[in-house]
Homo-oligomer: A and B are copies of this chain.
Amino acid sequence: TNKTLLMLPGDGIGPEVFNQVRRVVDWMAKNRSINFDLKEGLVGGACYDVHKQAITDETMQDALDADAVLFGAVGGPQYDNVERHARPEAGLLRLRKEMDLFANLRPAVVFDALLDASTLKPEVIQGLDLMIVRELTSGVYFGEPRGMQDYNGVERCIDTQAYTKAEVERVAAVAFDLARKRNSRVHSVEKANVMETGIFWRKTVTELHASGGYQDIELAHMYADNCAMQLMKNPKQFDVIVTDNLFGDLLSDAAAMSTGSLGMLPSASLGAADENGQRKALYEPVHGSAPDIAGQDLANPSAMLLSFAMMLRYSFGLLKDADMVENAIQNVLKSGIRTGDIMAPGCTQVGTTGMGDAILAE
């Protein structure tokens, strides 16, 4: 039986970059006999326009039933004043929470051909290959209570940063396991000098490291403010970084920007492994919906296609096919074909479809 793949293009450039995924899916079916049962759904503003909510229960159920979810991007200025619970982001947050996608894998990789795209000096980022593992279903994003409250007679607004031991352990385990397949080094990042959850995070990660069979992994602890600096000063010192939901949001974006090519970066969000080792999973490019260039055949489809490749690798164990997609993209870059976001002197500029053509040809 075929695997089910739910496609959620979303808003802005999401649908455009998805068109290129469809072409690769067709190619894989024809040339590699890889067949998916494809489903498609609305999410974000696209769903709001029709249903006045950011995702329907039906699509949510499809996501829970699917073997993997491919996600484009959500959001746009026309939704700025939509009530909070129906805003485009709410669709993404609900998917994360209900699919229990607690581990967000955000690689920051510098392609040699794109070395100059970064605002950082080439020697600082050449060969950069780090992975941020961000906790994605807890922390201040979801902690209760939240909102306005009377506290000892004072009117205040609050959010609650909350973690259980199990929540920290499971994401740390993902980081240790990943590090073992990489360079066996993990930086655990928090603010243990000022936050109780920081102390708790550090202690829990340290204990798991010692007693969970991870002594072969080198573990270091770093404060989040220092990590923000180090990502600019010397990002190559890192192999795997594991951190909470909010720090992970800022730090993974900073790491992504250090590469200079957001249009090239995929991500994976993984749930717990079932008895067969299968994890619920959602794959999405790091770039947003980029409403300013939407619908103009300008967007770079690479990050979306690399997200598809991550899916082949992590959800379906199709390592060879994942490599094929990744190598095709590398080769296209080397050949000097570029979308506008990564355009450089001497290269040939193409649009979204042109980039798709070139990648398919490779």
Which residues of chain A have a CB within 8 Å of any CB of chain B?
Answer: 84, 87, 89, 93, 119-121, 124, 140-141, 143-144, 146-148, 151, 154-165, 191, 193-197, 199-200, 224-226, 228-229, 232-234, 246-247, 249-251, 253-254, 256-258
Contacts and interface: CB of A to CB of B under 8 A. Distances in A.
Contacts of A229: 253-254, 256-257
Q: Which 6 residue pairs are nearest across A and B when measured between Cβ atoms? A: A157-B200, A229-B257, A225-B253, A159-B161, A228-B250, A228-B254
Contacts of A148: 196, 200
Contact of A120 (B161, B191, B232, B249): B232
A82 B120 CA distance: 38
Nearest to A142: B194
A201 B74 CA distance: 23
A67 to B, nearest CB: 28
Nearest to A199: B84
B253 A195 contact: no
A123 B226 CA distance: 25
A119 B233 contact: yes
Given A89-B193, A119-B124, A155-B164, 8 more contacts: A121-B121, A146-B195, A146-B196, A148-B196, A151-B162, A157-B196, A158-B160, A225-B250
B249 A225 contact: yes
A84 B200 CA distance: 13
Nearest to A262: B229
A160 B162 CA distance: 9
